[in-house]
């Protein structure tokens, strides 16, 4: 009696969420794997033709896809470095016991709250008008011009804007890390005559490793999955030069109507993201044991 009652409560508490979760995540995931082995244009009346591994093998010859994979990797590496350097610098400044540091922290975090789509549009204008103006005024028109019309610089523009969005976010993680460092350790190194740079590189940085690992991988996976900023800032252009992975998948499915091929790309995308994230979990766990 008691156990039957217990089971009833268990179902009552968990079933609603499990039903929604299964409908939205689990079933589509399985259907997605199935679709990846078919050729289909997305029109319900047209037949789905089983092609086996063909979608996956043809990915290796899809130049636009390979190009996109390469750009995404490059973008991810540059963004991860830029975001973490800027974010850590912000965190160091904001925790240096200044009266204005609270105000500054509030302001520096702000861009993260504005959605990626809207950020991209804001920066479109900044590149178009303000960068050009800067170029005119300073005479440095090789550096300051509308980056978005140049294939190479458009990618740097994406890195720039994504850094602007994410730096405040990782700053928060680094602040938590810095506050966890005991003051005595830093003071002791000061008394021992360590220079500010030595204090940072020999004392602060090693103690900051857990925070560093977390924000490295958070930025790694979010840079790799970038879509919104990509869409609104460059739209993948000029001439597909900034078409990242996520956008390439979207365009293959909904743009070109290659549902099977696009889904195969989406599965490959999943495998890469999973590999990145699992490596993160593995490294973080290992660190925790050592600490």
Partner 1 sequence: MRKLFGYSKEILLVLLAIVFLSPIYIIFVNSFKDRQELYDNALSLPATFSLQYYLEAMEKMNFLSAIANSLYVTILSVVIIVVLSSMTAWMLVRTGGKLSTIIFMTFIATMLIPFQTLMMPLMQFMSSITNNLNIPMYNTREGLIFMNVGFHASLSVFLYHGFIKSIPITLEEAATIDGASKFGVFWRIIFPMLKPITATVMILNVISIWNDFLLPSLTLIDVGLRTIPLSTFYFFGEFSIQWNLAMAGLTLTIIPVIIFYALAQKHIIKGIGEGAVK
- Among residue numbers 152 through 211, which ones bind partner 1 (CB under 8 A)? 164, 169, 172-173, 175-176
**Which residues from 219-238 bind partner 1, rule CB under 8 A?**
225, 227-228, 231-232
Comparison of 40 and 153: residue with beta carbon closer to partner 1: 40
Q: Between 26 and 205, whose beta carbon lies closer to partner 1?
A: 26
Would you say 69 or 266 has its CB closer to partner 1? 266
Among 278, 282, 286, 288, binds partner 1 (CB under 8 A): 278
Q: Is 182 left (phi over 0), alpha (psi -120 to 50) or beta?
A: beta
Q: Which of 58, 33, 26, 50 is nearest to 252 (CA)?
A: 58
Least Cβ distance, residue 118 to partner 1 (angstroms): 5
- Rounded CA-CA distance 268/219 in Å is 20
Nearer to partner 1, 10 or 202 (CB): 10
Q: Is 288 in the site for partner 1 (CB under 8 A)?
A: no
Considering only residues 110 through 139, tell me which ones interact with partner 1, judged by CB under 8 A.
Answer: 110-118, 121-126, 129-130, 133
Binding-residue pattern over the window 237 to 256 for partner 1, x denoting contact by CB under 8 A: ---------x--xx--xx--
CA distances from 2 to 6, 10, 12, 14, 15 (A): 6, 12, 15, 19, 20
Rounded to a whole number of angstroms, the minimum distance from the CB of residue 87 to partner 1 is 12
Contact positions with partner 1 (CB under 8 A) in 47-106: 93-94, 96, 98-101, 103-106
Least Å distance, CB 165 to partner 1, is: 11
* Residue in 197, 10, 267, 24 with CA at minimum distance from that of residue 259: 267
Q: Which is nearer to partner 1, 141 or 188 (CB)?
A: 141
The nearest distance, CB 102 to partner 1, in angstroms, is 10
Reading the block at residue 161, the tokens are 């804007």
Read off the tokens for 7.
């089971």
Q: Rounded to an integer, what distance in angstroms lies between the CA atom of residue 140 and that of residue 142?
A: 5
CA distances (Å), origin 259, targets 32, 33, 95, 163, 267: 10, 12, 50, 33, 12
Closer of 151 and 210 to partner 1 (Cβ): 210
Write the CA distances from 270 to 27, 33, 221, 265, 273, integer angstroms: 16, 11, 11, 9, 5
Residue numbers 20-49 binding partner 1 by CB under 8 A: 20-21, 23-29, 31-32, 35, 42
């Amino acid at each position: 009696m008691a156990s039957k009652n217990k089971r009833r409560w268990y179902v009552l508490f968990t079933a609603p969420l499990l039903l929604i979760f299964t409908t939205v995540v689990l079933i589509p995931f399985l259907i997605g794997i199935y679709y990846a082995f078919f050729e289909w244009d997305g029109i319900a009346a047209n037949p789905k033709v089983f092609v086996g591994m063909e979608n996956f093998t043809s990915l290796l010859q899809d130049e636009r896809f390979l190009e996109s994979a390469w750009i995404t990797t490059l973008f991810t590496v540059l963004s991860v470095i830029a975001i973490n350097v800027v974010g850590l610098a912000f965190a160091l400044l904001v925790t240096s016991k200044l009266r204005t540091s609270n105000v500054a922290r509030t302001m520096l975090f702000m861009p993260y709250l504005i959605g990626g789509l809207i950020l991209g549009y804001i920066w479109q204008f900044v590149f178009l008008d303000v960068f050009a103006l800067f170029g005119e005024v300073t005479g440095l028109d090789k550096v300051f011009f509308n980056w978005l019309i140049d294939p190479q610089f458009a990618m740097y523009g994406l890195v720039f804007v994504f850094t602007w969005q994410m730096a405040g976010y990782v700053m928060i993680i680094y602040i938590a890390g810095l506050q966890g460092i005991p003051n005595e350790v830093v003071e002791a190194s000061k008394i021992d005559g360590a220079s500010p740079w030595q204090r940072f590189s020999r004392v602060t940085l090693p103690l900051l490793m857990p925070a560093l690992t977390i924000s490295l991988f958070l930025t790694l996976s979010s840079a790799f999955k970038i879509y919104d900023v990509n869409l609104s800032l460059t739209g993948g252009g000029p001439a597909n030069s900034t078409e990242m992975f996520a956008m390439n998948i979207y365009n293959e499915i909904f743009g070109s109507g290659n549902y099977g091929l696009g889904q195969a790309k989406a599965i490959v995308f999943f495998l890469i993201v999973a590999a990145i994230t699992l490596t993160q979990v593995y490294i973080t766990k290992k660190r925790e044991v050592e600490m």
